[in-house]
């Protein structure tokens, strides 16, 4: 199914310009569209993208020159986290500026039911709507909310192609109910992929002239499962030479039972299964191939921006809705409040932002909404629960006492500071990890007396409000959460 590749192919592909890095974008800050009084925004969402980027020191074989190039021209937040480790509540939180614990959107939700999910959502404005209200021309294509966007959110909508296709008539390896997970070479050409068409739509919009500033959102599907891309992307990675992530077989021995129940994904492969069946490296290769494919089309959009009249006055923000485990903690999935599920790429670049900085202060995707308003000179939205990251864009080493907060189901939270992850479950069970010494989160320190003071300090950041599940928000992949929702409606 997967053809072995060579380092020569990888070298020649890069040399030949198959992944030519976007040049010149953001360098000429004096280049302005005369009609634009405020900066424009290119807003790129990548589904299921974890930290496997060159700029984040992710997988050592990652091929991500365009995203790395964007990071070199802006600020890369190396300790950024989603507010929920699945698509629906994560994207709802970013687009509303409200925490899951405020809205009760803890599970998946249909775009057209978002306004009915909670009064605060109904009374507020989604991020693109706020820009439109302040004179921006808003455009969007692909997966930006859970599906695409609620009706009327974008003045110019390219919609979203259904599903995560194309898919072959039968799965190659993995074919379990309730998941589209699978991996292999498919289809034959890039132009059969929805993300190809989304990128071309965005490139065409970037080539237009506008009388007002724009907000252009592009939601890319890869590397969401199934991990299918054409052969040339697999050929960048020598299967035999690939490394797999660190794995501790008895990793869950010190995790409380509720933690194991919350993170259970019975429909997904386990690491033990992948080892036994010789599929771990193949999964890694497929994921890296999908990331390389995505990086290429991010680069095409950045090149289009660089060629346009908008280059000098457009902010670019690139983000992901959650991370993904690729074998760590005996799982290939998101759906946990451990590091690999919540850590996401976040890059902000554009006028006035010094490039090449990495910020290790904790940031949340909920901070994107107020940050973009701040950068574009728009009035703050008083309903936003995040904070503008502008102080960290000005000085990535500035004092920042604000941790990132993650939630997975009512009253299950994680708090991430620069050095610690603290998890507290609804039954009072706890986990604590010190990332200075344990970046894989292998040793739960919560039961040790010497860490009680740290835990008490981090508990102060847990949300005071824990809304009941919104009836509009659903989840039935996990037995614990299915029952949890019924108890907390």
pLDDT tens across 309-356, in order?
A: 999 999 999 999 999 999 999 999 999 999 999 999 999 999 999 999
| Lowest mean pLDDT segment, chosen from 6-20, 67-81, 281-295 | 6-20
- Which pTM was predicted? 0.94
In a domain, 475, yes or no: no
In the predicted structure, residue 228 carries a pLDDT above the cut 70: yes
User: pLDDT value at position 177?
Assistant: 82
Cα–Cα distance list, 185 to 16, 289, 338, 349, 354 (Å) = 22, 10, 30, 34, 40
Total structural domains within the chain: 1
Residue 467 covered by a domain: no
CATH value at residue 259: 3.40.720.10
| Mean pLDDT across 439-453 | 97
Tens digit of pLDDT for each residue in 139-184? Answer: 999 999 999 999 999 999 999 998 998 999 999 999 988 899 999 9
Residue 379 is assigned to a structural domain of this protein: yes
Taking 60 as the threshold, does the pLDDT of residue 29 lie above it? no
* pLDDT tens per residue, range 386-436: 999 999 999 999 999 999 999 999 999 999 999 999 999 999 999 999 999
Q: Is pLDDT of 191 > 50?
A: yes
Q: According to the model, what pLDDT value does residue 9 have?
A: 44
Tell whether 454 is covered by a domain: no
pLDDT tier, 463 (very low <50, low <70, confident <90, very high otherwise) = very high
Mean pLDDT of the chain: 93
Q: How many other β-carbons are positioned within 10 Å of the β-carbon of residue 436?
A: 9
Torsion of the alpha carbons at 91, 96, 101 and 103, rounded to the nearest 10: -110
The answer to whether residue 372 is domain-embedded is yes
Query: How far out from the chain centre does Cα 103 lie?
Result: 20
Residue 452 included in any domain: no
Residues acting as catalytic residues: 87, 146
Q: Is residue 36 part of a domain?
A: yes
Q: Please tell me the predicted confidence (pLDDT) of residue 477.
A: 85
Q: Which residue has the higher pLDDT, 138 or 18?
A: 138
Q: Using alpha carbons, select from 127, 468, 50 the residue that is nearest to residue 283.
A: 50
Question: How confident is the model over 58-82, as a mean pLDDT?
Answer: 98
Structural domain harbouring 122 = 7-402
Q: pLDDT tens-digit profile of 275-322?
A: 999 999 999 999 999 999 999 999 999 999 999 999 999 999 999 999
436 lies in some domain: no
Distances (CA, A) of 14 to 7, 21, 59, 327: 11, 9, 18, 28
């Amino acid at each position: 199914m997967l053809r072995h590749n060579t380092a020569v192919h990888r070298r020649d592909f890069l040399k030949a310009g198959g992944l030519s890095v976007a040049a010149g974008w953001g360098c000429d800050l004096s280049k302005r569209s005369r009609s634009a009084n405020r900066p424009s925004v290119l807003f790129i969402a990548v589904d299921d993208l974890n930290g496997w980027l060159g700029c984040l020191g992710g997988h050592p074989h990652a091929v991500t020159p365009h995203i790395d190039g964007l990071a070199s021209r802006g600020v890369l937040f190396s300790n950024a986290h989603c507010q929920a480790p699945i698509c629906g509540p994560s994207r709802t939180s970013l687009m509303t500026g409200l925490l899951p614990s405020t809205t009760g959107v803890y599970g998946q939700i249909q775009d057209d039911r978002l306004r009915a999910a909670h009064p605060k959502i109904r009374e507020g404005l989604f991020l693109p709507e706020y820009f439109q209200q302040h004179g921006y021309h808003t455009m969007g294509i692909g997966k930006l909310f859970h599906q695409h966007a609620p009706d009327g959110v974008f003045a110019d909508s390219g919609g979203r192609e259904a599903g995560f296709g194309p898919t072959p008539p039968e799965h190659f390896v993995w074919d379990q109910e309730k998941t589209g997970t699978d991996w292999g070479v498919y289809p034959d050409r890039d132009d059969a992929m929805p993300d190809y068409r989304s990128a071309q739509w965005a490139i065409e919009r970037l080539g237009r002239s506008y009388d007002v500033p724009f907000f252009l959102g592009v939601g890319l599907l890869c590397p969401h499962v199934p991990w299918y891309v054409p052969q040339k992307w697999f050929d960048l990675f020598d299967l035999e030479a690939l490394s797999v992530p660190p794995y501790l077989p008895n990793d869950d021995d010190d995790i409380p039972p509720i933690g194991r129940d919350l993170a259970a994904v019975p429909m997904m492969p386990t690491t033990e299964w992948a080892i036994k069946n010789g599929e771990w490296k193949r999964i890694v290769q497929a994921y890296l191939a999908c990331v390389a494919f995505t990086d290429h089309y991010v680069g095409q959009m950045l090149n289009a921006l660089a060629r346009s009249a908008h280059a000098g006055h457009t902010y670019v923000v690139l983000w992901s809705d959650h991370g993904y485990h690729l074998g760590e903690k005996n799982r290939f999935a998101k759906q946990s409040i451990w590091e690999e599920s919540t850590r996401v790429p976040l890059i902000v670049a554009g006028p006035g932002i010094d490039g090449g900085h990495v910020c290790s202060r904790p940031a949340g995707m909920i901070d994107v909404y107020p940050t973009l308003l701040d950068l574009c000179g728009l009035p703050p939205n008083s309903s936003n629960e995040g904070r503008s990251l502008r102080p960290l864009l000005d000085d990535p080493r500035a004092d920042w006492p604000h941790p990132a907060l993650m939630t997975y189901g009512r009253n299950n939270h994680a708090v991430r500071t620069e050095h610690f992850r603290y998890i507290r479950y609804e039954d009072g069970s706890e986990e604590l990890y010190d990332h200075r010494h344990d970046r894989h989160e292998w040793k739960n320190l919560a039961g040790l007396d010497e860490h009680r003071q740290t835990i008490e300090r981090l508990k102060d950041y847990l949300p005071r409000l824990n809304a009941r599940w919104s009836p509009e928000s659903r989840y039935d992949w996990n037995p614990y959460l299915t029952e949890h929702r019924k108890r907390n409606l």
